[in-house]
Amino acid sequence: MNVKAVMADFGDTNSHDMTENHPPKRFKNQWVRLNVGGTYFLTAKTTLARDPNSFLYRLCQEDSDLISDRDETGAYLIDRDPTYFSPVLNYLRHGKLVINKDLAEEGVLEEAEFYNITELIRLVKERIILRDTRPQRDSKKHVYRVLQCHEDELTQMVSTMSDGWKFEQLINIGSQYNYGNDDHAEFLCVVSREYGASQLTSKEQESTDRVKVSTSHSNLTHPYPSQSSHE
Protein backbone atom coordinates (compact mmCIF):
# COMPACT_ATOMS: atom_id res chain seq x y z
CA MET A 1 0.00 0.00 0.00
CA ASN A 2 1.26 3.44 -0.85
CA VAL A 3 1.17 5.19 2.52
CA LYS A 4 1.91 8.59 1.00
CA ALA A 5 -1.02 8.29 -1.37
CA VAL A 6 -3.35 7.37 1.48
CA MET A 7 -2.09 10.31 3.54
CA ALA A 8 -2.49 12.61 0.57
CA ASP A 9 -6.08 11.54 0.06
CA PHE A 10 -6.76 11.99 3.77
CA GLY A 11 -5.16 15.42 3.70
CA ASP A 12 -7.24 16.50 0.71
CA THR A 13 -10.41 15.50 2.50
CA ASN A 14 -9.50 17.60 5.54
CA SER A 15 -8.47 20.60 3.49
CA HIS A 16 -11.81 20.76 1.71
CA ASP A 17 -14.20 19.60 4.43
CA MET A 18 -12.80 21.14 7.61
CA THR A 19 -12.25 24.78 6.64
CA GLU A 20 -14.02 27.53 8.52
CA ASN A 21 -16.39 28.39 5.70
CA HIS A 22 -17.07 24.86 4.55
CA PRO A 23 -18.29 22.42 7.21
CA PRO A 24 -17.70 18.71 6.68
CA LYS A 25 -19.93 17.28 3.98
CA ARG A 26 -21.26 14.65 6.36
CA PHE A 27 -22.71 17.50 8.51
CA LYS A 28 -24.13 19.67 5.74
CA ASN A 29 -27.31 17.67 5.32
CA GLN A 30 -28.03 17.74 9.06
CA TRP A 31 -28.28 21.52 9.39
CA VAL A 32 -30.73 24.03 7.96
CA ARG A 33 -30.13 27.73 7.45
CA LEU A 34 -33.20 29.97 7.52
CA ASN A 35 -33.47 33.61 6.52
CA VAL A 36 -36.54 34.86 8.37
CA GLY A 37 -37.31 38.48 7.54
CA GLY A 38 -33.61 39.22 7.05
CA THR A 39 -32.42 37.48 10.23
CA TYR A 40 -30.52 34.20 9.97
CA PHE A 41 -31.27 31.15 12.07
CA LEU A 42 -29.24 27.94 12.04
CA THR A 43 -30.88 24.80 13.33
CA ALA A 44 -30.74 21.05 12.95
CA LYS A 45 -33.16 18.96 10.93
CA THR A 46 -33.74 16.87 14.04
CA THR A 47 -35.05 20.02 15.75
CA LEU A 48 -37.51 20.71 12.96
CA ALA A 49 -38.54 17.05 13.03
CA ARG A 50 -40.30 17.57 16.39
CA ASP A 51 -43.40 18.18 14.26
CA PRO A 52 -43.07 16.30 10.95
CA ASN A 53 -46.23 17.95 9.64
CA SER A 54 -44.95 21.47 10.17
CA PHE A 55 -44.11 23.84 7.35
CA LEU A 56 -40.49 24.05 8.50
CA TYR A 57 -39.84 20.32 8.46
CA ARG A 58 -41.49 19.84 5.08
CA LEU A 59 -39.55 22.79 3.69
CA CYS A 60 -36.13 21.25 4.33
CA GLN A 61 -36.91 17.82 2.87
CA GLU A 62 -35.15 16.95 -0.37
CA ASP A 63 -38.40 15.82 -1.95
CA SER A 64 -40.38 18.72 -0.48
CA ASP A 65 -43.59 19.74 -2.21
CA LEU A 66 -43.13 23.28 -0.90
CA ILE A 67 -41.55 25.91 -3.08
CA SER A 68 -39.26 28.43 -1.39
CA ASP A 69 -36.54 30.67 -2.77
CA ARG A 70 -33.06 30.70 -1.30
CA ASP A 71 -30.71 33.62 -0.87
CA GLU A 72 -27.08 33.81 -1.97
CA THR A 73 -25.97 31.86 1.11
CA GLY A 74 -28.37 29.02 0.41
CA ALA A 75 -30.69 29.91 3.30
CA TYR A 76 -34.41 29.38 2.86
CA LEU A 77 -36.19 32.72 2.50
CA ILE A 78 -39.20 33.11 4.78
CA ASP A 79 -41.05 36.41 4.83
CA ARG A 80 -42.08 36.48 8.50
CA ASP A 81 -41.23 38.48 11.63
CA PRO A 82 -37.94 37.14 13.07
CA THR A 83 -38.80 38.44 16.56
CA TYR A 84 -41.78 36.12 16.80
CA PHE A 85 -39.93 33.27 15.11
CA SER A 86 -37.55 32.87 18.07
CA PRO A 87 -40.16 31.40 20.49
CA VAL A 88 -41.31 29.07 17.71
CA LEU A 89 -37.81 27.73 17.07
CA ASN A 90 -37.05 27.48 20.79
CA TYR A 91 -40.20 25.41 21.28
CA LEU A 92 -38.99 23.00 18.60
CA ARG A 93 -35.63 22.82 20.37
CA HIS A 94 -36.77 22.05 23.92
CA GLY A 95 -40.53 21.57 23.81
CA LYS A 96 -41.36 24.48 26.14
CA LEU A 97 -43.28 27.66 25.47
CA VAL A 98 -41.14 30.64 26.49
CA ILE A 99 -42.37 34.10 25.51
CA ASN A 100 -40.51 37.30 26.37
CA LYS A 101 -42.53 39.91 28.24
CA ASP A 102 -42.36 42.34 25.34
CA LEU A 103 -44.01 39.87 22.95
CA ALA A 104 -47.75 39.37 22.57
CA GLU A 105 -49.13 35.84 22.81
CA GLU A 106 -51.32 36.56 19.80
CA GLY A 107 -48.22 37.22 17.70
CA VAL A 108 -46.68 33.89 18.68
CA LEU A 109 -50.00 32.16 17.94
CA GLU A 110 -50.05 33.70 14.48
CA GLU A 111 -46.59 32.28 13.76
CA ALA A 112 -47.42 28.87 15.23
CA GLU A 113 -50.44 28.66 12.94
CA PHE A 114 -48.43 29.80 9.92
CA TYR A 115 -45.80 27.12 10.51
CA ASN A 116 -48.53 24.58 11.35
CA ILE A 117 -47.05 23.42 14.66
CA THR A 118 -50.06 21.77 16.27
CA GLU A 119 -48.88 21.34 19.85
CA LEU A 120 -47.47 24.87 20.00
CA ILE A 121 -50.80 26.25 18.80
CA ARG A 122 -52.52 24.45 21.67
CA LEU A 123 -50.03 25.73 24.26
CA VAL A 124 -50.31 29.35 23.14
CA LYS A 125 -54.10 29.24 23.12
CA GLU A 126 -54.07 27.89 26.67
CA ARG A 127 -51.71 30.70 27.70
CA ILE A 128 -54.05 33.30 26.19
CA ILE A 129 -57.09 31.84 27.97
CA LEU A 130 -55.28 31.92 31.32
CA ARG A 131 -54.14 35.48 30.71
CA ASP A 132 -57.62 36.70 29.80
CA THR A 133 -59.49 34.97 32.62
CA ARG A 134 -57.12 35.87 35.45
CA PRO A 135 -58.03 39.59 35.51
CA GLN A 136 -61.71 38.71 35.78
CA ARG A 137 -60.97 36.74 38.93
CA ASP A 138 -58.35 38.91 40.58
CA SER A 139 -58.52 42.52 39.43
CA LYS A 140 -61.83 43.52 40.98
CA LYS A 141 -61.33 45.12 44.38
CA HIS A 142 -63.69 46.84 46.79
CA VAL A 143 -62.71 50.10 48.44
CA TYR A 144 -64.43 50.80 51.75
CA ARG A 145 -64.78 54.28 53.22
CA VAL A 146 -66.08 55.28 56.65
CA LEU A 147 -67.84 58.65 56.87
CA GLN A 148 -68.89 60.38 60.09
CA CYS A 149 -72.02 62.52 60.17
CA HIS A 150 -74.80 63.87 62.37
CA GLU A 151 -78.26 62.40 62.35
CA ASP A 152 -79.71 65.38 60.45
CA GLU A 153 -77.03 65.04 57.72
CA LEU A 154 -77.77 61.42 56.83
CA THR A 155 -80.39 62.08 54.17
CA GLN A 156 -78.29 64.69 52.39
CA MET A 157 -75.17 62.54 52.51
CA VAL A 158 -76.89 59.51 50.97
CA SER A 159 -78.64 61.56 48.28
CA THR A 160 -75.42 63.31 47.22
CA MET A 161 -73.25 60.19 47.18
CA SER A 162 -71.04 60.00 44.08
CA ASP A 163 -71.79 57.51 41.33
CA GLY A 164 -70.39 54.07 41.98
CA TRP A 165 -70.47 54.30 45.76
CA LYS A 166 -72.89 52.01 47.63
CA PHE A 167 -74.23 52.22 51.16
CA GLU A 168 -73.07 49.27 53.28
CA GLN A 169 -73.76 49.88 56.96
CA LEU A 170 -74.78 52.55 59.45
CA ILE A 171 -73.43 52.55 63.01
CA ASN A 172 -74.71 54.78 65.78
CA ILE A 173 -71.77 56.14 67.76
CA GLY A 174 -73.71 58.76 69.73
CA SER A 175 -74.34 58.57 73.43
CA GLN A 176 -77.26 56.44 74.52
CA TYR A 177 -78.19 59.23 76.93
CA ASN A 178 -79.85 62.40 75.70
CA TYR A 179 -79.17 65.44 77.87
CA GLY A 180 -80.98 68.01 75.79
CA ASN A 181 -83.15 68.59 72.78
CA ASP A 182 -80.23 70.04 70.79
CA ASP A 183 -78.18 66.85 70.93
CA HIS A 184 -77.97 64.88 67.68
CA ALA A 185 -76.82 61.30 67.33
CA GLU A 186 -73.49 60.67 65.61
CA PHE A 187 -73.21 57.97 62.98
CA LEU A 188 -70.52 56.15 61.07
CA CYS A 189 -71.66 55.42 57.53
CA VAL A 190 -69.78 52.66 55.70
CA VAL A 191 -69.80 52.90 51.89
CA SER A 192 -68.04 50.84 49.23
CA ARG A 193 -67.06 51.02 45.59
CA GLU A 194 -65.74 48.43 43.14
CA TYR A 195 -62.55 49.19 41.23
CA GLY A 196 -60.45 47.44 38.64
CA ALA A 197 -56.82 46.94 39.65
CA SER A 198 -55.65 49.64 37.23
CA GLN A 199 -58.04 52.20 38.75
CA LEU A 200 -56.77 51.94 42.30
CA THR A 201 -54.68 54.86 43.52
CA SER A 202 -52.27 54.46 46.40
CA LYS A 203 -54.76 56.07 48.76
CA GLU A 204 -57.58 53.82 47.58
CA GLN A 205 -55.37 50.77 47.79
CA GLU A 206 -54.67 51.65 51.41
CA SER A 207 -58.41 51.85 52.01
CA THR A 208 -58.88 48.27 50.84
CA ASP A 209 -56.86 47.10 53.83
CA ARG A 210 -59.56 48.24 56.20
CA VAL A 211 -61.78 45.53 57.55
CA LYS A 212 -65.41 45.81 56.55
CA VAL A 213 -67.59 46.80 59.49
CA SER A 214 -69.87 43.91 60.31
CA THR A 215 -70.64 44.46 63.97
CA SER A 216 -72.94 46.83 65.77
CA HIS A 217 -71.63 49.81 67.70
CA SER A 218 -71.83 47.88 70.94
CA ASN A 219 -69.20 45.45 69.65
CA LEU A 220 -66.98 48.04 67.98
CA THR A 221 -63.57 48.00 69.66
CA HIS A 222 -61.43 49.67 66.97
CA PRO A 223 -63.10 52.91 65.78
CA TYR A 224 -62.48 53.86 62.17
CA PRO A 225 -61.00 57.28 61.38
CA SER A 226 -63.72 59.56 60.13
CA GLN A 227 -63.69 61.16 56.70
CA SER A 228 -65.57 64.38 56.08
CA SER A 229 -65.79 64.01 52.30
CA HIS A 230 -66.27 61.32 49.74
CA GLU A 231 -65.98 60.93 45.99
Share of the chain above pLDDT 70, in %: 62
Q: Which residues pair with 35 in a beta bridge?
A: 40, 77
Q: Sheet holding 76-78: strands in order across?
A: 39-44, 31-36, 76-78
pTM of the model: 0.50
Cα-flanking dihedrals φ and ψ of residue 156, to 5°? -65, -40
How confident is the model over 37-62, as pLDDT tens digits?
999 999 999 999 999 889 998 888 77
Instruction: Choose between 12 and 145: higher pLDDT.
Output: 145
How confident is the model over 140-169, as pLDDT tens digits?
677 888 888 888 888 887 787 777 888 888
User: Which positions ≥6 away from 170 have C-beta within 8 Å?
Assistant: 154, 187, 188, 189, 190
Q: End-to-end CA distance of the chain, in Å?
A: 101
Instruction: Choose between 2 and 161: higher pLDDT.
Output: 161
100 pLDDT higher than 60: yes
Domains, the chain, in order of start with CATH, read 3-136 (3.30.710.10), 141-219 (3.30.70.2000)
